[in-house]
Amino acid sequence: MPKLEDVAKRANLSKTTVSRVLNKRGYLSQKTIDKVYQAMEELDYHPNVVARQLYKNKTDLIGILLPTVANPFFGELTAALEDRLYQQGFKVIIGNSMNNPQKEADYLQQLLIKQVDGLIVGSHNQGIQQYRHAGLPVVSIDRIMNQDIPVIASDNYRGGQLATERLIAQGVRKIIHTNGPHDLATPAQRRRLAYEDSMKEHNLQPITYELDFNISTADKDKVFQRIFVEHPDVEAIFASNDTDAVQIIQLAQASGRQVPRDLLVIGYDGTQLVRELVPQLTTIIQPIAQIAQTAVEVLQRRLAKQTKQKEYLLPVSLWEGTTG
C-alpha cells in the first residue's frame, strides 16, 4: 500500500506539506492542494483514518440515540438529524434504545472513552448515572436529563392547548387525554398540563390515561378499549401521538363508533408520512426539520464549550383534518 512519503514524492512536495493538506492546517495554495489530491488519486492512497483521529483527538462520529426509528416521528427525526450532521462533516451511529437502558449506557460509555464525539439523545430510559458527568457533549431532544444538558423541544404546552381548545370549541365536554407515565421527566408532560389547565378553565373534568412507552400494540389496545368501557360517554380523545390516535380511531370504528360523528380524535407529531397516509387526522405538527437543525447547532456549540441556554422551544402548528 502506498504511504505518505510516496504521495509526497509523486507530488514533488515535502511530507510535512502533504500532512498539512490532509489535516487542513495553515495556509495552502489551491495549486498545492490539487497536486496532493492528484497524487493520492494516481497512487490510490487512503489516509490512515484511525491515526488521524488519534492525532486530532476526535472521531467525527456522532451517536443518535432515540426510542425507535419504527415510530414515524423518530424515524423522520433520525433522517433529518443524519442529513444535517452529514452536511457538517459528521458520520452517524444510530441506536434504538427504548426497551434497553443497557444499550443507552453502552453508547454513553463510547462517548466517555472518546469513540464518538457527541450524542443526541431522546430515549426514555431513566436513572443512567453517566449523564451526571458535567460538561458532556450531549444534547437532549424532548427529555430532561440533568440541569447541565440542553434540551430541544417543541412547545408542548402550546400544542396541548391548541388540541384541547379546538375540541372544546366544537362543543364536546367529555374529553380524555392519553400520555406517558406522569413521573417520566420529559417536556411532553406539558401537553398533559395544558390539557388539564384548559379543561379546568372551562369547568370540565380532565381525565388522563397513562401508557408506558415500552408496551406492545396489543397492550395499548387493551388500555384504549378500557377508555370506551369505563367512559362510554366519551366525546373526544386527545392522543399523545399520531400512531396512538390512528389506533384509537380503528378501535372506535370496530366498536361501531364513527369518527368524527360519534367521537373526535386529535393526535400529536404531524409527521410527513402520517399527513400523507392519513390526511384526515387532525394533529399537532412538531417542526422536525427545525428540531434537527437546532439540535445539531447546539451540539456543535456544546463541542466548542460555548452553550449557555438550557432549553430551546420551537413553535408547533395545527393540521386541520376532519377527525377532530
Q: What is the pLDDT of residue 146?
A: 75
Give per-residue pLDDT as tens, 251-281: 999 989 999 999 999 999 999 999 999 999 9
pLDDT top residue among 116 and 295: 295
**Cα distances (Å, whole numbers) of residue 92 to 12, 68, 143, 165:** 36, 16, 21, 40
> For residue 66, which of 114, 107, 111 has the smallest C-alpha distance?
107
User: CA 58 to CA 117: how far, in whole Å?
Assistant: 6
Give per-residue pLDDT as tens, 170-207: 999 999 999 988 777 788 889 999 999 999 999 999 99
Same topology between domain 61-153+288-315 and domain 156-287: yes
Give per-residue pLDDT as tens, 47-100: 765 455 545 556 788 888 888 888 899 999 999 999 999 998 888 888 776 667
What are the extents of the domains in the chain?
4-56, 61-153+288-315, 156-287
User: What is the topology classification, in CATH, of domain 61-153+288-315?
Assistant: Rossmann fold (3.40.50)
Give per-residue pLDDT as tens, 295-313: 999 999 988 888 778 899 9
Give per-residue pLDDT as tens, 226-249: 999 999 999 999 999 999 999 999
Hey, which residues does 266 pair with through a beta bridge?
Answer: 238, 282
Amino acid identity of residue 223, one-letter, is V
> For residue 91, which of 58, 47, 69 has the smallest C-alpha distance?
58
User: CA 220 to CA 36: how far, in whole Å?
Assistant: 60
User: CA 141 to CA 239: how far, in whole Å?
Assistant: 20
Ordered strands of the 61-66 beta sheet: 91-96, 61-66, 118-121, 138-141, 151-154, 311-314
User: CA 204 to CA 200: how far, in whole Å?
Assistant: 5
Task: Work out the number of other CB atoms within 10 angstroms of the CB of residue 257.
Answer: 14
Q: How far is CA 155 from the centre of its chain?
A: 14
> For residue 104, which of 151, 143, 153, 63 has the smallest C-alpha distance?
63
Q: What is the pLDDT of residue 208?
A: 95
The whole-chain average pLDDT of the chain stands at: 87
Give per-residue pLDDT as tens, 209-218: 998 877 888 9
Give per-residue pLDDT as tens, 129-186: 666 666 778 898 988 877 788 999 999 999 999 999 999 999 999 999 999 887 777 8
Q: Are 180 and 213 in contact (CB under 8 A)?
A: yes
What is the DSSP annotation of 206-227? -EEEE--TT--HHHHHHHHHHH
Q: What is the pLDDT of residue 221?
A: 92
CATH 3.40.50.2300 holds for 156-287: yes
The CATH homologous superfamily of the domain defined by 4-56: lambda repressor-like DNA-binding domains (1.10.260.40)
